[in-house]
Amino acid sequence: MTEPGRGLRRVAIGIEYDGTRYNGWQMQPHAPSIQATLNDALSQVADETVACVGAGRTDTGVHAAGQVVHFDTGAERTARSWLLGLNSNLPSDISVQWAMAVPGDFHARYSATSRVYRYRILNQQARSALEHNRAWWVRQPLDVAAMRAAAGYFIGKHDFSAFRAAACQSKSPIRTLTRLEVSGEGTMLCFEIEANAFLHHMVRNMLGTLVRIGRGEAEPVWVRDLLAAQDRKLAGMTAPAAGLTLMAVRYPSVFGLPNVQVA
């Protein structure tokens, strides 16, 4: 875990963004990314080159309401100056919500204890113009009770090989899922998922499997069988990115970061 060099101080910020027009969080050589856009704004405000580190590497088209970022800088700015200065230099689809100085051993990614994602499904006959980039439109009626029963099999410490992307670079497929809540209001279904960490495409692959169960193509116990089989080819499709939002990142209280409530 890297710490600031001599004469540098570490700052953490909380950001939200609409990921529709970006190639994900991570910098890309020939495509716009959240990280590159934020680095540019940070460098403008600090009047020096700044490189930031994010808590989660969200994919192309994925959104965030509670992404946490840290950076090291020699610039002396108040929390308010970082907040106002960054938002003045960022496009309207990326917004800083808070900023604060943090200890040198704080790391946005490695200090996190858990992450919370929310996935939304619009379950109705007609497509929605307003939810086009915010939810997965599924026309077929979904059995919410069956999906909720299936979700229970994901809870706990498991090998999630059946739900990781082929390009996933994590050394271990073992993850601990502490919460998967399924709720609905009208035609909108919400899936709130919390784990210590996630594999590449893990949430979206889980949702593709849950939708198959909701359509009646498999029984809820299929999730248990998939976890045991550890074979990605057997599980459901990868759900679209647009329905996914990083809602919050949790940290030990010693760092004093804002206690973000997941609404």
Residues with a known catalytic role: 59
Q: How far apart are CA 119 and CA 215, in angstroms?
A: 17
The residues pairing with 121 across neighbouring beta strands, listed in sequence order, are 136, 189
| Three-state SS sequence of the chain | CCCCCCCCEEEEEEEEECCCCCCCCCCECCECCHHHHHHHHHHHHHCCCCCEEECCCCCCCCEEEEEEEEEEECCCCCHHHHHHHHHHHCCCCEEEEEEEEECCCCCCCCCCCEEEEEEEEEECCCCCCCCCCCCEEECCCCCHHHHHHHHHHHCEEEECHHHCCCCCCCCCCEEEEEEEEEEEECCEEEEEEEECCCCCCHHHHHHHHHHHHHCCCCCCCHHHHHHHHCCHHHCCCCCCHHHEEEEEEECCHHHCCCCCCCC
Amino acid at 46: A
Q: How far apart are CA 95 and CA 89, in angstroms?
A: 10
Q: Which two tokens stand for residue 104?
A: 């040198």
Residues in the chain: 263
